[in-house]
Amino acid sequence: MNKRDIIVIGGSTGSLTVLKELVKSLPADLPAAIFIVWHIAPNSPGILPEVLERFGKLPAENARDGQKIEMGHIYVAPPDHHLLIENSHVKVSKGPKENRFRPAVDPLFRSAAAAYRSRVIGVILSGGLDDGVAGLWTVKEFGGTAIVQDLLDAENPSMPLNARKRVEVDYSVPGNELADLLIRLCNEEVEEKKQPMTKKSGKTDVEISIAGGDDALLKGVLELGAPSYFTCPECHGVLVEIMEGKNIRFRCHTGHAYSSGTLLSEISESVEDTLWSSIRAIDENIMLLKHLSSHLQEQDAELAGIYEQEASRIYERSQKVREAVVEVTKPPVETGSL
């Protein structure tokens, strides 16, 4: 019998408060190692470990590639790097972004599940969209325990909400109860899942390798799913569609990965950028006509008048285009679910 001694935590907007409260309540002799992915900008100074050490009793640091895992330690994904777990060591890489992020939650959870199976506790905290859903699903598939922050307690409930909708979550708790739950789970014995999941394990290994920086095409990324009609927003490669339980996600041949929610968000932003570029081009046309009209007033009043009329005509039509663009790019009405 094993004990749960690998805790992986993912969060974004609104999760820092919970993380500080969590480490404050954890004992110095916690019989588990904690790994954290917190969505941060690539140029961030990476001071989360210092913050966590200031509030708690456990040593915390930005993970280093090849570092040996020690119980009672906190390992944080450094800025612009994925954090992976490989057989008693950590791996830090600059593999392709997943869900627009590096570090991303899914690679950490996926690698922990493959390496430690039922010994893993996966925790999804406050944050936008749905990074972490696929990773938490893998944690459950390999026999681990799935926890999400209570939706009413989360500053941004999208990440825990999407996890609850697509993964059989074991616990949903407010941030101030998370430490007690983790302490209890770490001290319980857990039975190892006996049946090896060869097909699932093989696909998971491919995705872990990609996140680690290996060549996605050579590793067999195109075998992960059927080709879709969509292209990668980052590199414009064809995306394969991956089905996992209730979850649909996508990955391109260079390795970029997207949840369905993130892909929709990326495509919507691209559409908006294109539409506003059209408005910009129309405005530049109007400004040029007005500029030429003003310049020609004394030299060719008739031509100047034609330019002025044309500018007015385009302006009137452009208002209809602008109204249409504003209507198309309005955010969806909140319905209480994603």
Non-local (6+) Cβ contacts of 64 within 8 A are: 90, 92
- pLDDT given at position 44: 94
Kind of pairing between the strands at 257-259 and 74-76: unpaired
Known catalytic membership, residue 131: yes
56 pLDDT exceeds 80?
yes
- Note the pLDDT tens digit of each residue in 292-338: 999 999 899 999 999 999 999 999 988 888 887 888 766 654 444 43
Mean pLDDT of the chain: 93
Question: Residue 305, Cβ neighbours under 10 Å: how many?
Answer: 13
Set 5, 106, 130, 131: catalytic member: 131
233 upstream amide cis, omega within 30 of 0: no
Ramachandran angles phi, psi of 200, nearest 5°: -65, -40
Options 39, 73, 81, 82, the catalytic residue:
39
pLDDT, position 335: 41
The yes-or-no answer on residue 65 being catalytic is no
pLDDT for res 195? 55
The whole-angstrom separation of Cα 105 and Cα 37 is: 6
Burial 130-162 (b: 16+ CB within 10 A, else e): bbbbbbbbbbbbbbbbbbbbbeebbbbbbbbbb
Average pLDDT (171-181) is 98
Q: How much is the pLDDT for 318?
A: 86
Specify the pLDDT at position 17.
97
Query: Which member of 12, 209, 259, 265 is catalytic?
Result: 12
**pLDDT above 70: residue 60:** yes
pLDDT, tens only, 231-275: 999 999 999 999 998 899 999 999 999 999 999 999 888 888 888
Q: Which two tokens stand for residue 101?
A: 């992020």
The pLDDT-based confidence of 196 (bands split at 50, 70, 90) is low
pLDDT of 290-303, one tens digit each?
A: 999 999 998 999 99
What integer pLDDT is reported at residue 27 of this predicted model? Answer: 98
In this predicted structure, what is the pLDDT of residue 331?
A: 62
Provide the pLDDT for residue 338. Answer: 39
pLDDT at residue 199 in the model: 63
Mean pLDDT of 201-216: 95
Quote the pLDDT of residue 102.
Answer: 98
Choice between 2 and 6, residue whose per-residue pLDDT is larger: 6
Which range is least confidently modeled, 95-109, 182-196, 269-283, 319-333? 319-333
User: Percent of the chain scored above 70 by pLDDT?
Assistant: 95
Which pTM does this prediction carry?
Answer: 0.88
Residue 34 has pLDDT above 70, yes or no: yes
User: Has 39 been annotated as catalytic?
Assistant: yes
Residue 334: per-residue pLDDT: 44
